[in-house]
Amino acid sequence: MNLTQKIIKAHLVSGEMIPGEEIAISIDQTLTQDSTGTMAYLQFEAIGTDKVKTERSVAYIDHNMLQSSQLNADDHAYIQSVALSHGIYVSKPGNGICHQVHLERFGKPGKTLLGSDSHTPTGGGIGMLAIGAGGLDVALAMGGAPFYLIMPKVVNIELKGRLGAGVTAKDIILKVLEILTTSGGVGKVMEYTGEGVKYLTVPERATITNMGAELGATTSVFPSDDTTKAFLEAQGRGGDFTPLSADDDAEYDEHIVIDLEALKPLAACPHSPGNVKPVSELAGMKVDQICVGSCTNSSYLDLMKVAAILKGKRIHPDVSFTVSPGSRQVLMMLAENGALADILGAGARVLECACGPCIGNGQSPKANAVSLRTFNRNFFNRSGTPSANVYLVSPETAAVSAIAGVMTSPEGVELPEIKMPEKFLINDNLILCPDDFKDVKIVRGDNIKPFPKTHPLASTLKGDVLIKLGDDITTDHIMPSNAALLAYRSNIPYLSDYCLSNCDKEFPARAKAKNGGFIVAGSNYGQGSSREHAALVPLQLGIKAVVAKSFARIHKDNLMNNGILPLVFADPADYDKLEEGDSVAIYDAPDSVRCRKFTLVVENKNINIPLKLECGDRQQKMLLCGGSLRMASGDNS
């Protein structure tokens, strides 16, 4: 068996491990963050479970850190109180980014981790089966329910040789994105093997598994080996180590070989992580802003390399350069060993240990700027500046470019060797253990509104095509993520006024005036973040179904969890037959769900378009019931 199959088999609750078949697995650990967490905990409360049922669940506060009003602080107070009252650990503001902290303090090889954040697969860097999901799926898992997924295919990505000077783990995953594209991982797990694995540290492995989310992959995983053991021992958690690897004769569905010695520094160009080019082709391009950080590249190892490159140098006068440490542990260690002084001395601005600019929460570049970022996504307007061009690069490329003021390859630049520490600085003062808190009163701010209720599927669904969209529409398009809106993640009625506003500012008003309707889209609809709000806000606006050529995994699940039909064209060419404003209807919708075949009647054109519903038996029942929360509670009213 391969490693993915071994972990799934150890957690299999139901179903057969046949690719394409629905299975259910038990979940050992969960994580939430404050951007998606408020809604997840409202849903968890609605389930009615007194205490969390997992081995370890952690609520992180790392996204909505700007406190320009009471809104974010109110949400943080709610999350802390509701989590502690239900037996959930809390990582307070300033402790760090959820994925970095979980890797350091909580992750365990061989365990399953479900997180309400699409970059939860970071945990695969230490041999976890770590999967991103919508908040409702995580809430159900915290209540003891299994997690349902389609048994993935397993892709063996064999790493040969060793990285050359100036070439990094970021370049490995960018190469994989160049090969597979942003939809090439859908329905698959990326499993890394080969001699090159032993030369990669845990933070480097985590960089690769983190950005596996940009492939659309279910998750990515590395073996748990001596390198993993050394990392956990350095974190004071040697007892959490378990050796794990694929069998020597393991079989895979696909096999990709990457020669690390032939790899060159790469960059993802605007506006997609899959738009990859060699840095050498972009060399000399003037750069206005550089941001180092995010859950992809903010580890101790990453920032020590940046500090070493910057030491004794000066950041170019035309460049704004920021550094966001991934965790308080990283920041304290940099402060203790003097590396922080090297970063500051070069002219960098050090930001809080949080997601920050990666999610558009501050540091929006100037108009028409070129911004190099060590992040995982460069979707249009994600930075908060529509005219900006954002490139994704390694920390090494970022640092040498900051000094030069233009895009510069780190190849040929003298780069000192940075080794992993034998012991990390352990200080968990900002982690709250629920056992230390009794009789916690749950605090609810005025901005915390109930999530929209669903209803059993109606017999007839009628309405207009409210908008027609193209390919690769992201959750950033559907529910924009910026500093102005992040504070309202617990207020779905307010957010609904911004649904798809990046595509058409008139869409929310049109949807309200028409009492809902249908969305039509191209391929890979809903790629990107796991944010459940991209399904909840259309639900609030009365969207009955989304008709697309194909869907991204998490968003498709979120739509079904909230009772919205995700329908696929039986013939993709029929996409061209629909236009905004068409009057459409689905008759006998419940029977159509049962047979998974639909007919979309385009009444103003007198044509019928066949559609498919790609789901399992459980999801059929869920859609008929009106969503997963209604099904879990047995509410058929």
Asked whether 371 and 358 are in contact (CB, 8 A), the reply is: no
C-beta contacts of 506-513 below 8 A and 24+ residues apart? 507/466, 507/467, 508/541, 510/466, 510/467, 511/466, 511/541, 511/542, 511/543, 512/541, 512/542
Q: Taking the CA atoms of the chain, what radius of gyration do you get in angstroms? A: 23
The residues with which 112 forms a beta bridge, in sequence order, are 129
d(CA 241, CA 518): 49
346-361 pLDDT tens trace: 999 999 999 999 988 8
* pLDDT tens per residue across span 231-287: 999 999 999 999 999 999 999 999 999 999 999 999 999 999 999 999 999 999 999
637 has a pLDDT exceeding 80: no
Supply the angle between the helices 70-85 and 34-47 in degrees, to the nearest 10: 40
Q: Which two tokens mark 428?
A: 């968990």
* 390-424 pLDDT tens trace: 999 999 999 999 999 999 999 988 777 888 999 99
Using one digit for the tens of pLDDT, what is the confidence trace for 187-231? Answer: 999 999 999 999 999 999 999 999 999 999 999 999 999 999 999
- C-alpha dihedral, 292 to 356 to 203 to 102, nearest 10°: 170
How many angstroms separate the CA atoms of 58 and 387, rounded? 37
Q: What is the pTM of this model?
A: 0.93
pLDDT in tens, 8-37: 999 999 999 999 999 999 999 999 999 999
Cα–Cα distance measured from residue 629 to residue 217, given in angstroms and rounded to the nearest whole number: 25
Report all structural domains of the chain as residue ranges with CATH numbers, in order of start: 3-262 (3.30.499.10), 267-404 (3.30.499.10), 461-628 (3.20.19.10)
